[in-house]
A and B are shown apart, each in its own frame.
Chain A
Amino acid sequence: MPFIPHTDADIRAMLARIGAASVEELFDEIPAEVRCGELNLPAALNEMAVTRLMEERAAQDGRWLNFSGAGAYEHHIPAAVWQLVTRGELYSAYTPYQAEASQGTLQILYEFQSMMAALTGMEVSNATLYDGASALAEAVLMAVRAHKAARRILVPATVHPVWQAVTRTIVGAQGIELVTLPYCTEGGHSVAEALAHYQGQEFAALVIPQPNFFGVLEEVDLLTDWAHSQGIRVIAVVNPVSLGLLKPPGHWGASGADIVVGEGQPLGAPLSSGGPYFGFMTCRQELARQMPGRIVGRTLDLDGKPGFTLTLQAREQHIRRGKATSNICTNQGLLASAATLYMALLGPQGLQKVALACHANTRALLEQVTAIPGVVRLHSEPYFHEAVIALDVPAQEVLRALRAQHLLGRVDVSRWYPELGDAILVCATETRTPEDIQRYAEHLGRIVGRRNQGPACTKLKPSAASKW
């Protein structure tokens, strides 16, 4: 789809037709005090200078052997994925409103929805949201709209703390209360005893993360059945790769989750310093009209031939304006295309193999690091491809020392969970080799052992007078 900008003459003609003096005048109704004013931007750069700048910025990330996860996961992406996605026919994130010119893009998005619905075990999928965290916020808004009465959501403390913060930011101003469900510090999961406290109270939804932020598997059947027995809907937050191995949310408990959201990055999107990523959302058919974002449908044209088009658009802001289901309408069409190709190339068996390899590698990593004196896995419940390990030395120092070895080793969880003390969240996906894992364990053992022995050479310690 070529992009054809308006010429100055086009713009003048359009303004003259509607009787406006300038484009600026069209924004008159926005009060001056809420405008940001002039943007202080640097001068435009040519292609050579931009390439140089971007290469320098990218190099600042460094080259790492990555043992961190916590919401963004390094996976192998088959070369064909981005080779195909960057073809001219697909290389656009633009929303394909114009069905007659976008059948290829629309069909890919339709396939994406079909795959996500199958992967999560749900009836309906949208064509992506901005990212996983905002997808959770959208699911909360959706549950509140569907419930009509309750404006409270039960959120386990084991949901990714950044996702909790993003959700609170988006829904807090709309008078929606997020109530934190305490977790079992020993198991690392949400437990029935904690739920009992909320028995009989009115909530629009219970959020269930699987796996949770600690990498731990929640008792999803028990939690789902409890919620439904209380008339509370279930919002599942899942890692899509884990669904190659774990029960899809549509089959949790007796009746399955009601809304499923997650971060789509593990499906074919590179880490890219933190984005762009994409959120996905699937749900029960009965909630489809409450769903935010684009939905692509399959239909027949006047000649009876199958075709694809955006559907249920009356929910969306280009029609419903301020009353749309969402006014954060970013979709991530390009990343959805990549995810579709990723899933198509792997197939269900391939995805299962990736999930199994992730679990096996994390298991090998845990076996080796917990053999180090003073290093233990903190939680007792089963895990997928991430786990919290407790150290008897300061976590920040250990992470700094690992960084010096180009090991990203990684997330200090005490920042959000001070009760855990010196603890780090580690992850080994299918991309880690046995040598990588051994190297990580060796360096961690050396660092923890040395720290426990005290400084090896005090003479090298800089004094206040030194120039260090």
Chain B
Amino acid sequence: MTIPADLKYTASHEWVRREDDGSVTVGITDFAQQLLGDLVYVEPPEAGRKLAAAEECAVVESVKSASDVYAPLAGEVTAANEELSGAPQLINQDAYGAWIFRLAPDNPADFDTLLDAAAYQAVVDAEAH
């Protein structure tokens, strides 16, 4: 299981990457995809949707369960990864490559309040006990 040091995280197992244009890209972590098992369906949010921080905005469904994905920051959805609709297993193959949606944050400084890799590792350790 990997937790790249160059990403930020949430306690609800989303990863977040800041792009050059100020937007952020969101996916679910390697830990999350391992817990879910083989993914069969991803329902991303629609572009243009306004999200509050921690709002449920996407669903990832595996053969045995379904989980909500939460907005790591408040903002507006700018894009969804269309590739996932035909190939949800991309998340199982490469959790940090298969992004789910992009967000234009209302307040870019919120990014710095997210967990860093070490803090997220502590979350995982606590849950994995």
Contact = CB atoms under 8 A, between A and B. Distances in A.
A314 B62 CA distance: 8
Interface in B55-107: 61-62, 64-66, 68
A284 to B, nearest CB: 16
In the A-B complex, the 10 residue pairs with the closest CB atoms: A314-B66, A314-B61, A320-B66, A319-B65, A319-B66, A314-B65, A289-B41, A148-B46, A314-B62, A323-B68
Interface of A: 148, 289, 314-315, 319-320, 323
Contacts of A148: 46
Contacts of B43: 289
B35 to A, nearest CB: 14
Q: Which of A314, A319, A320 has the most CB of B within 10 A?
A: A314
A263 B72 CA distance: 45
B46 to A, nearest CB: 7
Nearest to A320: B66
B122 to A, nearest CB: 28
Per DSSP, chain B at the interface is: strand
A82 to B, nearest CB: 37
Interface in B11-61: 40-41, 43, 46, 61
13 contacts: A148-B46, A289-B41, A314-B40, A314-B41, A314-B62, A314-B64, A314-B65, A314-B66, A315-B66, A319-B64, A319-B65, A320-B66, A323-B68
Nearest to B65: A319
Interface residues of B, number: 10
B62 to A, nearest CB: 7
Contacts of A323: 68
A237 to B, nearest CB: 28
A315 B66 CA distance: 8
A133 B41 CA distance: 30
A148 B45 CA distance: 11
A323 B41 CA distance: 16
B95 to A, nearest CB: 19
A363 B66 CA distance: 53
Contacts of B65: 314, 319
A315 B43 CA distance: 12
A88 B64 CA distance: 30
A169 B61 CA distance: 31
Nearest to B49: A148
A407 B40 CA distance: 56
Given A314-B64, A314-B65, A319-B64, 7 more contacts: A289-B41, A289-B43, A314-B40, A314-B41, A314-B66, A320-B66, A323-B68
A314 B37 CA distance: 13
Contacts of B46: 148
Nearest to B62: A314
A289 B41 CA distance: 9
Contacts of A319: 64-66
A155 to B, nearest CB: 27
Nearest to B67: A314
B41 to A, nearest CB: 7
Nearest to A323: B68
Nearest to B56: A323
Nearest to A149: B46
Nearest to B46: A148
A309 B46 CA distance: 32
Contacts of B66: 314-315, 319-320
Nearest to A321: B66
B46, B62, B65, B66 pick with most chain A CB within 10 angstroms:
B66
Contacts of B61: 314
A289 B85 CA distance: 13
B96 to A, nearest CB: 24
A310 to B, nearest CB: 11
A201 B93 CA distance: 44
Contacts of A320: 66
A289 B64 CA distance: 15
A140 to B, nearest CB: 21
A31 to B, nearest CB: 26
A323 B61 CA distance: 13
B38 to A, nearest CB: 12
A319 B64 CA distance: 8
B51 to A, nearest CB: 14
B30 to A, nearest CB: 21
A319 B43 CA distance: 17
A320 B64 CA distance: 11
A148 B64 CA distance: 26
A319 B62 CA distance: 11
A438 B61 CA distance: 60
